[in-house]
Amino acid sequence: MLTIFAKTLTRMVLPKPRRLPRLSTITAQTAGSDYILPWLPSPKPSTHGAKPSPPQTFTNASILKSITTVGNKSPKQLLTIYSLAGKQPGFRHDYPTYKILILILAQKRHNLPSVLLLLDRMRRVDFIPIGPALLLPLLDVYVSHSDLSDESLLGKLFLSAPIHEKVFSKLVNLLISTDRIRIARTLFSDAIISKFGFDIKVRHYVDLLRAYCDKGEYQSIHEVLDVMAERGSAPNVFCFGALIDKACRRDGVNGLDFGFGLVEQMRRKWDRNPDVVIWNTLLTGCVRNGEMERAEGVLKMMEDNNIVKDVWTYNTVIVGMCKHQSLKDGVRVFVDMLEKRIVPPDVVTFTTLIDWSCLRQRQKKMELGIFLGKMMRLGIVPDSACWRIILTTQSISDHTPKNYHNFSF
């Protein structure tokens, strides 16, 4: 009885033990499933024999898209993208990537060291020439918004990226055409020129001088001319002629005064004798501004300096006399031209006289026949402009010269 009571009490107090399944049964039930035993840690997936994931690859298009689409990247992030792409075997950055990256870095707090580093790698590592399409907007960013002086900035840029003479000329022209003459003049400073591998020619200065002449900054012109003299690049006759013509066309009498002063300095300071082209340019400026007394003074100076007058000289004086004084004065110069026989008249000479005497002064009866007869004797054939004046004169004339239809040219 005691034994039966003990077994009954044990069944009531202690739970019935569970019977564990066999291992073969568990394997059969969990085959092909994600069954995990509760008392074991989660198994890690096996990598034995699996292929490693391919590394991230960069292309110039993906770099350009990453740089331009996200505008909040820091300079460090931009340079990281550039560096990761450069570590790929055989990869080279292209020009658009460099241009966008450099300009963005320049605009982000004007990061000059990073810009100089990229310019250097662009030239030495990827063998890409640095042209004005990159330098011009880069200069614009720094000069417009940076606290650096123009000279120090440009010196650092050109020290890291020397350029060719043709690129320098184009860069100067672009700066002048965009009305940045001050920056263009900085390119001619001693600190910048010392970085070049070529000598600055007179033709490089001519564009700068013309730009100052267009603005009427004559004092700046004299300063540039003094710098040219110090460096042994004395201005030639073409340079002086271009400045005189620009000044006379733009500034009237003030430009004419500048032209006379420039001719005087040309003779005394630079020991250069003006040729007939310079004197004709000055003479044209006098006629254009109605300064006929000064024009006669130019003729006197030409004679004093033994300058032989050409047909342009006489034609210019004849136009000025007919326009600002009288037809008789113009005819007087024409007669002097024939008597001295220094140079024969041309078709422009007769066209001018026919225009002023026959068409504008309405003295058509005699003068037209005289001038046409003289042209025939000298063997000068009227050009299209001359014929237009002749036909216009005849169409409004009441009388036609008797011998007009007998001319054979």
**Tokens standing for residue 19:** 């019977």
Question: Does residue 266 form part of some domain?
Answer: yes
Pick from 341, 401, 342, 354: which is nearest to 382 by CA? 354
How many separate domains does the chain show? Answer: 4
Instruction: Show the tokens assigned to 69.
Output: 């689409």
- Do 277 and 314 reside in the same domain of the chain? no
Where in the sequence is the domain holding 138, given as residue range(s)?
A: 57-145
Q: Are residues 325 and 343 in the same domain?
A: yes
Do 175 and 223 lie in a common domain? yes
Asked whether residue 385 is assigned to any structural domain, the reply reads: yes
- 312/348 same-domain check: yes
Do residues 322 and 351 share a domain?
A: yes
Residue 392 lies in a domain: yes
Classify residue 324: in a domain, yes or no.
Answer: yes
pTM of the predicted model as reported, rounded to 2 decimal places: 0.63
pLDDT reported for residue 27: 46
Q: Can you give the pLDDT of all 409 residues of the chain as single tens digits?
A: 556 655 665 565 555 555 555 544 544 454 444 444 444 455 555 555 555 555 567 788 888 888 777 556 777 888 888 888 888 888 888 988 888 888 888 877 656 778 888 888 888 888 888 777 787 777 777 666 654 444 555 556 655 555 667 777 877 887 788 788 887 888 887 766 766 767 788 888 888 999 999 888 999 998 898 888 888 777 888 888 888 888 888 888 888 999 999 988 888 887 888 889 999 999 999 999 889 999 989 999 998 888 889 999 999 999 999 888 888 888 888 888 888 888 889 898 988 888 887 666 555 556 777 888 888 888 888 888 888 877 777 665 544 444 444 333 3
174 occurs within a structural domain: yes
Tell me, yes or no, whether 277 lies in a domain: yes
pLDDT (0 to 100) of residue 388: 84
Do 67 and 101 form a contact (C-beta atoms < 8 A)? yes
Residues 225 and 241 in one domain: no
For the chain, the residue count is: 409
Are residues 169 and 127 both part of a single domain? no
- Kindly state whether residue 69 falls inside one of the protein's structural domains: yes
- 272/325 same-domain check: no
The reply to whether 318 and 370 lie within a common domain is yes
- Domain check: are 312 and 396 in the same one? yes
Going by C-alpha positions, the residue among 307, 303, 246, 247 that lies closest to residue 276 is 307
Secondary structure (DSSP) of 107-159: HTTT-HHHHHHHHHHHHHTS-----HHHHHHHHHHHHHH-SS-HHHHHHHHHH
Q: Based on C-alpha coordinates, what's the Rg of the chain?
A: 44
How far is 294 from 287, CA to CA, in rounded Å?
Answer: 9
Is there a domain that residue 4 lies in?
Answer: no
DSSP states of 191-228 as a string? HHHTT-SSPPPHHHHHHHHHHHHHHT-HHHHHHHHHHH
Task: Answer yes or no: do 188 and 222 share one domain.
Answer: yes
Indicate the residue among 94, 117, 145 that finishes a domain: 145
67 and 83 housed in the same domain: yes
